[in-house]
Amino acid sequence: MVKVKTTKHKMPEQEPKKRIKNFNEVPYGYDKETAIEEAKRCLQCKKKPCTEGCPVEIDIPGFIACVANGEFDKAAEIIKAKNNLPAVSGRVCPYENQCEGLCTVKKISLYAEPVGIGRLERFIADYERNKGVKIPKKAKPTSKKIAVVGSGPAGLTCAGDLAKMGHSVTIFEALHAPGGVLMYGIPEFRLPKDIVNAEVNYIKKLGVEINYDVVVGKTITIDELMKEYDAIFIGTGAGLPRWLRIPGENLDGVYSANEFLTRVNMMKAYRFPKYDTPVKIGKIVATFGAGNVAMDCARTSLRLGAEKSYIIYRRSELEMPARAEEIHHAKEEGVIFKFLTTPVKFIGDDKGILREGEFRKMKLGEPDETGRRRPIPMEGSEFKMKIDTALVAIGQSPNPLIPKTVKGLKIGKHGNIETDKDGRTNIPGIFAGGDIATGAATVILAMGAGKRAAKAINKYLKLKK
């Protein structure tokens, strides 16, 4: 058996007690020496199971071999050949279910940890950004014009790839800032906005133009875009919040996760009154849900001064969909988890301000269609708890604006745009990918969808000629 260190090299982090007082990034990232040492843990398997686990198919052993040799520029080139936003994916990917989940090193022993692929990707992306990003050679201009709707991870990736293929690409973004969920959803302490801006700048340097404040479906329609562009990619995400549908949900103090996070992240309400957008947070905050968005809400609440921040989840710890790292960080920071609990109603005072929640205990039954055990309410188990703020993070649905305004576009039963695996919709020339097609998923899956769609669009444009 090959001798290899069985655990990942640690990434230094801000102390939990300190970090809940600021919005600075939690992990500091590897230094050069640690990165090289971690890269040396890679066995350089010929079969590359890690690459198979990567939705954008980065040549992982290839770039890691370069890191081990200290050839960081070359490592960056290998990553960038497949991934336009490595500083993002190196921070927010659920590696444990993807590349790192399939790493051979994990098989050495029961306790062996995979190579820290995400950490190494992040190290290289940060190295390259600090040094000044190199713009790769682009293909000869094709004179084909493509409109990309939405500047989230799917749209940015698709746009970047199409630009590299020589096409002229314009992104239309409804908000005043780029990045979609990278900007409004994921908090600074997990993904600094300077880094998002730097990644977006790279896409712009590839020649992609971004038009802000354009709500496609309102300011301009898909039909109008079709007249001007040779193809369209729709990457408008899953931005429609789901609600608990319980009494008291309109009380003052109840936010959708989207509203809460948009105020804090995109509008920088955590810097109010220096920035104009306010956000109101009480002493006791309850976040409903247990995905990454819920963890972000609960951890953000602490940073805004909440004394107690609860995660309230109707299933058990085992079924939580959030990344292991986020759950770990939330626990370290003092987020309190209440499992097998569901809200029944929110109770307010005469001014309509949230004061209390009524909850019910749950038990787990048989697995449902998602494979997770179904929560069953326990009659008579109701109890009340004082809460000042409720953050509803139980998921998002595809944004309905475009599906509603394009005639003849085939829509799935969840309001998603139906596509094949390469992002083709039923209308020739219109492609879609990311959460608008799949429903709320991960950043890296959206990037993968953007990539496949770019290839399909390229093929379509060649045939069209």
Partner 1 sequence: MHIILDKKELAPNVKMFKVSAPLIAKKSKTGQFIVIRIDEKGERIPLTIVEKDDKIGSLTIIFQEVGKTTKELGKLKKGDHILDLVGPLGKPSKIRKVGTVVIIGGGIGIGEAYPEAKAHKDVGNRVINIIGARSKEFLILENKMASISDEIYITTDDGSKGHHGFVTDILEELINKKIKIDLVFAVGPTIMMKAVSEITEPHRIKTLVSLNPIMVDATGMCGGCRVNVGGENKFACVDGPIFDGHKVDFDSLIKRLNTYIAEEKISCKMH
Residues that bind partner 1 (CB under 8 A): 174-176, 212-215, 218-220, 239-241, 243, 249-252, 255-256, 258-259, 262-263, 267-268, 272-278, 280, 351-353, 399-401
Q: Mention every residue, 6+ apart, whose C-beta is less than 8 A from residue 107.
A: none
Paired with 343 in beta bridges are 359
Fill in the DSSP letter of residue 135. Answer: P
Q: Which is nearer to partner 1, 94 or 291 (CB)?
A: 291
Q: Which is nearer to partner 1, 140 or 351 (CB)?
A: 351
Q: How far is the CB of 288 from partner 1 (least distance, A)?
A: 14
79 phi, psi to nearest 5 deg: -65, -50
Q: Which is nearer to partner 1, 236 or 425 (CB)?
A: 236
Q: How far is the CB of 239 from partner 1 (least distance, A)?
A: 4
CA distance 64 to 27: 20
Q: Mention every residue, 6+ apart, whose C-beta is less than 8 A from residue 352.
A: 251, 252
Closest CA to 190 of 287, 114, 122: 122
Q: How far is the CB of 151 from partner 1 (least distance, A)?
A: 14
Q: Which is nearer to partner 1, 165 or 281 (CB)?
A: 281
**How far apart, in Å, are the Cα atoms of 259 and each of 175, 241, 242, 263, 369?**
14, 9, 12, 6, 29
Q: Which is nearer to partner 1, 35 or 391 (CB)?
A: 391
Q: Which is nearer to partner 1, 107 or 176 (CB)?
A: 176
Task: Note whether 356 and 384 are within 8 A (CB).
Answer: yes
Task: Note whether 423 and 433 are within 8 A (CB).
Answer: yes
Q: How far is the CB of 333 from partner 1 (least distance, A)?
A: 25
Residue matched to tokens 């709707």: 149
Q: How far is the CB of 350 from partner 1 (least distance, A)?
A: 9
Q: How far is the CB of 245 from partner 1 (least distance, A)?
A: 8
Q: How far is the CB of 148 from partner 1 (least distance, A)?
A: 17
Q: Which is nearer to partner 1, 61 or 248 (CB)?
A: 248
Tokens for 13, please give them: 């982090």
Q: Which is nearer to partner 1, 389 or 425 (CB)?
A: 389
Q: How far is the CB of 213 from partner 1 (least distance, A)?
A: 4
CA distance 250 to 208: 41
Q: What is the DSSP string of 231-251?
A: EEEE-----EE-----TTTTS
H helices within 147-238, ranges in order?
Answer: 153-164, 181-184, 193-205, 222-228
